[in-house]
Structure 1
Amino acid sequence: EMATEIEAARQLVMKSASLRDANLPFATEAAMSKLYGSKVAMESAHKAVQIHGGTGYFAPTPVERYFRDARVTEIYEGTSEIQKLVIARNILKKQG
């Protein structure tokens, strides 16, 4: 399940990058990539901690580091709530 979600997030990033490379508008897709990618990172890191049990919370295990790093992705370059606003604004602008 985690691998499927990670691949879906990767495909969103690839779509955003291909639009950018083609000099086409990509703000909506980039915001979707950021929103979904950070969500998947956080959920996957949380599942990994659960799989490892108590040792998943203690430094210096890689799982503990992934969990901390994943949490930060929801904040850097705009919070998830800001990304949702960007997506909604761009979709509404396209429709009318």
Structure 2
Amino acid sequence: MGTKVEAAHQMVVRAARIKDTGERNDLEAGMAKYLASEYCRDVVEDAFRIHGGYGFAKEYEIERLYREAPMLLIGEGTADIQRMIIGRRLLEMHADH
């Protein structure tokens, strides 16, 4: 779980650094958004399993995270849209080769 969080974080930081330079970063941003949302779902599901029955209790934050994590896959551009953005950009970049 920690590996997934760190990998997603590194991709977000890379996309942000490219944006800070003023360069086009739609590929890196799309990849970061896609990976982070997929990994978020995975990590939340794993944490939910670790909590067992307590995962349903409103007293634990995992209950809220389990409800909200799927929204990351459809909010701010669905995973399908992110994959299309990534694919188009990769095709553009490698069309000359």
Give the distance between the partners of 1:90 and 1:82, measured in 2 at CA.
12
- For 1:47-90, what per-residue CA distance to the aligned partner results, in whole angstroms no more than 9, with x for missing partners? 01100001102324200111122111111111101100000000
Which segment drifts farther, 9-18 or 61-70?
A: 61-70
Q: Which residue of 1 aligns with 2:45?
A: 46
Shift of 1:17: 0.2
Q: Which residue of 1 aligns with 2:87?
A: 88
The TM-score normalised by the length of structure 2 is: 0.94
- Root-mean-square deviation (CA, aligned residues, Å) is 0.9
Name the aligned partner's letter for residue 75 of structure 1.
I
Which runs of 4 or more aligned residues in structure 1 lie more than 6 Å from their structure 2 counterparts after TM superposition? none
Q: Which residue of 2 aligns with 1:69?
A: 68
Give the distance between the partners of 2:57 and 2:71, measured in 1 at CA.
18
The TM-score normalised by the length of structure 1 is: 0.94
The gaps in structure 2 that reach 5 residues or longer are: none
Give the distance between the partners of 1:25 and 1:12, measured in 2 at CA.
15
Give the distance between the partners of 2:89 and 2:59, measured in 1 at CA.
42
Identity %: 35
